[in-house]
Structure 1
Amino acid sequence: MRKPILFIALIALGLAGVIWAADPDPGALRDLLARLEAWRAEHPGVLPAAFFGVYVAVVAASLPFAVWMTLLAGALFGFWGALALVSFASSIGASLAFLVARYLARDWVRARLGPRAARIDKGLARDGAFYLFSLRLIPVVPFFAVNLAFGLTPMRAATFYGVSQLGMLPGTAAFVFAGTQLGRIESLSGVLSPGLIGAFVLLGVLPWITRLVLRLIEARRRAARWPRPARFDRNLIVIGGGAAGLVAAYVAAAAKARVTLIAEGPMGGDCLNYGCVPSKALISAARAAVAARGNAGLGVAGQAQVDFPAVMAHVRCAITAIEPNDSEERYRGLGVEVLRGRARLVDPWTVEVDGQRLSARAIVLATGAAPVIPPIPGIETAAPLTSETLWEHLAQLDAPPRDLLILGGGAMGCELAQALARLGAGVTLIEAGAILAREEPEAAALVRAGLEADGVRLIEGRVVCFAPGVAVLEDGTEVPFGTLLLATGRRARIEGMGLEDLGIAAGPVIETDDYLQTLVPGIYAAGDAAGPQQLTNAAGHQGWIAAANALAAPFWRFRAEAPIPHAVFTAPEVARVGLSVAEAQAQGLAHDVTRYPLADLDRAVTEGEGSGFVQVLTAKGSGRILGATVVGPHAAEILSEFTLAMRHGLGLGKILSTPHIYPSWSEAAKNAAGRWRQARVNPRLLALAARFHSWRRG
């Protein structure tokens, strides 16, 4: 909302500057208007017709003059005449741009709009013509982009025209009114007249008022099926005791709202009990085993003795040590009402838990996700393990499994395969495509080499069926195994919650808008249940966004947009934030790629760890970071600097100008920024600098 206010302020200051530069006495403006009025009296109808035609052409061509012409129309034709003229001209011009995009320039428009077109497609599919109406009332997307993007949609031209005519009317009226006030300036002090100030204040507050009214209309429209309670028992109900749910409940309690947290599974969710904590504890033990074996390149050799029950005891101790942070006792101490049981949505304000009905103004669904068991024939006979059953199975073993088959080459599959192989397990990893397919190909190749070096057998192929102790690939190859672990993705836990009865769309994740609200106002989703990134740090971020939006609605809300970093804790480690090269290309974003090899980093040289790189994507011709990938030791820590820079709009130049400790791994970020700067040094400026210094020497 700051941008419209700044834009309006600039208009006001610009007009004042134009008036002062032209003539300190605004009589010049009055004289111009008087001459135009006299000419119009002699040629009735010509000036309005010409103005109308030019206005239509300007809008149809997506030229940035429509605002100024609207102000001028108010000064020339008065409020009602200008409102009629501009309202029809703008709608006709917008419709022409719509038709040009649809029939003459589809490819050019799609390339120019990039991800904006996809967002509009999604909004139209969700809200229909009401979405266009909201965009016309609140200009969060430039009008020219709306005109062009909707030409790529299946919306009828007549519908587009009618909705545009109605939706643009309030904003047009506000700008026309401002134009009428400009036409009444009698002196320079008139720029600060109450009428003109009021006109620009109206332009500033109109988006806020319109946004609030739209939210209320939308909420009533979507919740009209259910009677709204006269009062509520609580401000917020949070369903789920994982990262997203715990953060949401914490935020609500810190804001002194009455909040109830309903948890069916163990507190702490998947991260504490089945994911992040146990897997990283296992990885730490595996790294210790590698360290005990020494490094011939550093002149150290040894032999590791792995006590597997002690390793699993370490895993259990790590969970136990962190459990109090996520416990019922802690959250009750914070003021959160914690209930155990399975929740079901009755209506947009009511949740039933084991026969007890609770009401709240808003609800946050943070139910997490469950492992996906792929529909492969015979898989049930293989008694597969998942992330939820693996740890109990391993805790019962005296030694690592000798014939483990892992299905799935994502982060989880690669991490567990390498860690268990380093601890002495026999591991085969099967991936239907390529391992770590979402990461940069060079990063995935280094991880692949690391896995193979640690003894993991990698197979790329699709399993078509299972027989007792055997996985059969599509080419007929049979892969024997003793234990099967599935790492084939996760799906939102929503079964039996009543989402279908409320019309809340869900697939692998629950569908939400940019503010984490579902199709039912007042019901939000966060964390693994909402996606798209099923990460603990993403869940925590979404948890506080969902809670803040639920408590502040309809008066204020925050977008759930932030660069979310992620890491694959293999050796080498892979960490990324923002876009990959393939993603930037798919979105049609012009970009530059800068790569810095860790072999050139002094700290890496001293530790004998030269494999890996830092890669940064920047907007073409600037230092604005679009994405960064780090591969190598401490990649997750090195990446944090790029995440901070992206979050706060700091370019590579800021990283380059920041002193870093020498020698340190963090210097990799600064050195990458230095590579970016070196590639953009202007040789002509260097030549001029050389001549300047030569002149200074005399």
Structure 2
Amino acid sequence: MKKLLILSAAALLVFGFFALDLNRYLTLDGMKASLGQFESQRAASPVVVGLVFFSVYVVVTAMSLPGAAILTLAAGALFGLSMGTLIVSFASSIGATLAFLASRYVLRDAIQRRFGDRLKVINEGMAKDGALYLFTLRLVPLFPFFLVNLLMGLTPVRTLSYYWVSQVGMLAGTLVYVNAGTQLAQINSLVGIVSPGLLLSFALLGVFPMLAKMFMRLLQGRRVYAKWQRPKKFDRNLVVIGGGAAGLVTSYIAAAVKAKVTLVEAHRMGGDCLNYGCVPSKALIKSARIANQMRHAESYGLSAAEPQFSFRKVMARVHEVIRTVEPHDSVARYTELGVEVLEGYARIVDPWTVEIKLNNGGMQRLTTRSIVIAAGASPFVPPLPGLADVGYVTSDTLWDEFAKLDAAPKRLVVLGGGPIGCELAQSFARLGSKVTQIEMAPRIMIREDLEVSDLARDSLRRDGIDVLTGHKALRCEREGTRKFIVAEHQGKEIRIEFDALLCAVGRVARLQGYGLEELGIPTQRTVAVNDYLETLYPNIYAAGDVAGPYQFTHTAGHMAWYAAVNALFGDFKRFKVDYSVVPWATFIQPEVARVGLNEQDAKEKGIAHEVTKYGLDDLDRAIADGTAYGFVKVLTVPGKDRILGVTIVGEHAGDLLAEFVLATKHGLGLNKILGTIHTYPTLAEANKYVAGEWKRAHAPQKVLALLARFHAWKRG
């Protein structure tokens, strides 16, 4: 009841403030109009006017009313720099603390009860470093001060800490604003507008946030580097750990701008994509698709035939493709580009020193101004009892293990229903394996819309795959030479015999052995980084799979640009990594490609949207190619052609998506796509036709009705 009364009283005061039009006094025009009257009153009763002004400032701040900035300028105009700063400094801090206490008393308990679990991490962080966070917000006003007051009241920050940090943190900004107020008071003519003092004051208002950010960055740097001894000079500008997509792009950019850069790779240049992921899997998918086309050649008027092939040769081709692409990412190429490449294991000894245990047995230490961790990720192996006993392969190890086989595994269990699991399950099924796919979630490809998951499931089943969704793997068992996996479904256990088991349940960042624990760099599933890809230490960055949030080769390369530029030029200008337009594709048949939101995401996030869909079964080229299945689905802002997201299911969906990626990135709507000539007959026409579907749905019916009457009149 007390809290309700306080809220009611506050609401009444705010309503009265606006109802009586008191806010007109807290505008620049209102202040200028009343300045003469205030000055005469101050001259007559300086103490009384000072106390009244102080009280008004406290009330305005405590009630979170608009106008505190104007009052600060007024303080400079009325009381001068010294006294104005003194009054505002204490009044603003007291008012802010009162707002903080009111928020804490009225709202905190209810908020913590309802969202306690979600706020646990925030509460722990605020209890540990709340004063520093507050100081940053006060010095660098990222949010309006009234919001800081109200939100901080919900946290465990101590009241006394809140007051003195606010007092100190707001002092510099108060000085700048009060000084500007003193200059405004001195304008008597147009000449005064361009006076040096006023120009300097407003220059300070513009420059202050930038200076405050630089100061906070320096302060935080001194704090995290306090226990380390910084070298007087450095061997390198940049050391990059990891020779995958992120590491290669980072080191390439550094060399291109003539920085002295060392790239350290322990195993194979090119990382997961070249050696275990994108390249070998797509080579395998191509062979599997050709085998599948031969089986279904009657669809093209040809005689169907069971493909005759050597599985060993198929795997040999996969390795030949890797060897063909390998020179693009080789030590020789990057050395030629100006990158020093060291083959060995890197460990960060301190924020500026990397120790490298070379593969040839040597040891090397390098000092460097900046470090980029691009260690990538590795397959996650679930802790299933008996798994080690029966043996298994992952998306990393299968290429070498299966290359030894004369035929594809007769009975293959694929554990996992994500993109990797689906691609490999379909490929091995088409190459002769009897595949059982086990997925714990209620459907495969859970991140896609339901209809997409259903299409993918039906496609896999047509290839003979036994897709078991809602099945939780419990354990593995061995009976002599026979191997089994036991899964649970709707409370019942089922036992599946297999010859080979492929674990494809996701990938985890490589976090061990790089010295992160010793340096205190926070890690959970990935290395914790900010918007600039900085870790706890501003000169140590992380990019690619090791940092997330996406585990794609193309996003790793995208992040690498930000990591390289920030690491080399961050003292002058830093760039926040942009994840606003991230495309991805799953290369099953039909392919599934997406950029931006799908319906599932839009509904979960409560984002208003319209859906426009075009079926590829109506597309001339798809009919001619015998690939007339799938669709293009576009989400747009209601009533507008602005694209929120696109999902394409069909042949070459990953290639078709590129036009929408470009359009989404640069704000081009469906009308622009509709007005662009697309070659006939191509699959790309689907993009134009879906834009046409949107246009037809938004045709101006009243105008069309009038046109019909006009043409009827013209016919007589």
Asked if these proteins are the same fold (TM beyond 0.5), I'd say: yes
For 1:497 and 1:43, how far apart are their aligned partners in 2? 68
Q: In the alignment, which of 319, 322, 325 is matched to residue 328 of structure 2? A: 325
For 1:688 and 1:382, how far apart are their aligned partners in 2? 75
For 1:233 and 1:90, how far apart are their aligned partners in 2? 49
- 1:20 maps to none
- 1:380 maps to 388
Q: In the alignment, which of 393, 397, 422 is matched to residue 401 of structure 2? A: 393
Return 430-439 or 95-104, whichever deviates more: 95-104
Q: In the alignment, which of 550, 563, 567 is matched to residue 585 of structure 2? A: 567
Contact 1:418 1:454 survives alignment (8 Å): yes
- 1:223 maps to 225
Return 237-246 or 52-61, whichever deviates more: 52-61
Partner-residue secondary structure (3-state), 1:216: helix
Q: In the alignment, which of 254, 266, 269 is matched to residue 268 of structure 2? A: 266
Is 2:571 aligned against 1:554? yes
- 1:489 maps to 506
For 2:56 and 2:708, how far apart are their aligned partners in 1? 53
- 2:651 maps to 633
Contact 1:596 1:671 survives alignment (8 Å): no
- 2:318 maps to 315
For 2:699 and 2:93, how far apart are their aligned partners in 1? 48
Taking structure 1 as reference, are residues 602 and 521 closer, same or farther at Cα in structure 2, changes over 3 Å only? same
Report the Cα offset of residue 212 of structure 1: 1.8
For 2:645 and 2:381, how far apart are their aligned partners in 1? 32
Letter in 1 for 2:658: S
Contact 1:509 1:529 survives alignment (8 Å): yes
Partner-residue secondary structure (3-state), 2:493: coil
Contact 1:120 1:149 survives alignment (8 Å): no
Letter in 1 for 2:424: L
- What is the CA deviation profile of residues 32-85 of structure 1, one whole-angstrom value per residue up to 9, with x for unaligned ones? 522342355567667666666665566566666544454444444433444344
For 1:242 and 1:639, how far apart are their aligned partners in 2? 25
Q: Which has the higher contact order (CA 8 A, sep 6+)?
A: 1
Matches within 5 A, 1:182-197: 182-197=184-199
- 1:338 maps to 341
- TM-score scaled by structure 2? 0.83
For 1:649 and 1:453, how far apart are their aligned partners in 2? 39
Letter in 1 for 2:502: L
Identical amino acids, percent of aligned pairs: 51
Contact 1:117 1:149 survives alignment (8 Å): no
Letter in 2 for 1:194: P
Q: In the alignment, which of 589, 593, 596 is matched to residue 578 of structure 1? A: 596
Contact 1:594 1:675 survives alignment (8 Å): no
Report the Cα offset of residue 617 of structure 1: 4.1
Report the Cα offset of residue 509 of structure 1: 1.4
Contact 1:27 1:186 survives alignment (8 Å): no
For 1:71 and 1:621, how far apart are their aligned partners in 2? 45
For 1:305 and 1:492, how far apart are their aligned partners in 2? 40
Partner-residue secondary structure (3-state), 2:393: coil
Contact 1:405 1:428 survives alignment (8 Å): yes
Return 315-324 or 51-60, whichever deviates more: 51-60
For 2:670 and 2:231, how far apart are their aligned partners in 1? 53
Q: In the alignment, which of 32, 35, 54 is matched to residue 33 of structure 1? A: 35
Matches within 5 A, 1:498-577: 498-562=515-579, 563-577=581-595
Letter in 1 for 2:564: A
For 1:175 and 1:527, how far apart are their aligned partners in 2? 43
Contact 1:181 1:199 survives alignment (8 Å): yes
- 1:473 maps to 487
Taking structure 1 as reference, are residues 28 and 380 closer, same or farther at Cα in structure 2, changes over 3 Å only? closer
Report the Cα offset of residue 330 of structure 1: 0.6
Report the Cα offset of residue 104 of structure 1: 5.0
Partner-residue secondary structure (3-state), 2:263: strand
- What is the CA deviation profile of residues 405-451 of structure 1, one whole-angstrom value per residue up to 9, with x for unaligned ones? 11111111011001111222211111111311122222222111111
Contact 1:332 1:338 survives alignment (8 Å): yes
Report the Cα offset of residue 161 of structure 1: 4.0
Contact 1:595 1:613 survives alignment (8 Å): no
Taking structure 1 as reference, are residues 182 and 409 closer, same or farther at Cα in structure 2, changes over 3 Å only? same
- 2:415 maps to 407
Contact 2:413 2:502 survives alignment (8 Å): yes
For 1:35 and 1:695, how far apart are their aligned partners in 2? 73
Partner-residue secondary structure (3-state), 1:341: strand
Report the Cα offset of residue 453 of structure 1: 1.3
- 2:429 maps to 421
Contact 1:344 1:498 survives alignment (8 Å): yes
Return 497-506 or 136-145, whichever deviates more: 136-145
Partner-residue secondary structure (3-state), 1:546: helix
- 2:292 maps to 290
Taking structure 1 as reference, are residues 446 and 135 closer, same or farther at Cα in structure 2, changes over 3 Å only? farther
For 1:651 and 1:126, how far apart are their aligned partners in 2? 47
Contact 1:27 1:187 survives alignment (8 Å): no
Letter in 1 for 2:346: A
- What is the CA deviation profile of residues 569-604 of structure 1, one whole-angstrom value per residue up to 9, with x for unaligned ones? 112222223344444455x55321323133455544
- TM-score scaled by structure 1? 0.85
Gaps of 5+ in 2: 1-27, 358-362
Is 2:278 aligned against 1:276? yes
- 1:463 maps to 473
Partner-residue secondary structure (3-state), 1:309: helix
Is 2:177 aligned against 1:175? yes
Taking structure 1 as reference, are residues 28 and 328 closer, same or farther at Cα in structure 2, changes over 3 Å only? closer
For 1:298 and 1:142, how far apart are their aligned partners in 2? 66
Partner-residue secondary structure (3-state), 1:210: helix
Partner-residue secondary structure (3-state), 1:476: strand
Report the Cα offset of residue 179 of structure 1: 3.1
Q: In the alignment, which of 348, 352, 359 is matched to residue 351 of structure 2? A: 348
For 1:302 and 1:597, how far apart are their aligned partners in 2? 31
Q: In the alignment, which of 448, 454, 466 is matched to residue 439 of structure 1? A: 448
Report the Cα offset of residue 265 of structure 1: 1.0
Taking structure 1 as reference, are residues 187 and 606 closer, same or farther at Cα in structure 2, changes over 3 Å only? farther
For 1:598 and 1:145, how far apart are their aligned partners in 2? 48
Report the Cα offset of residue 274 of structure 1: 0.3
Report the Cα offset of residue 557 of structure 1: 1.5
For 1:543 and 1:152, how far apart are their aligned partners in 2? 37
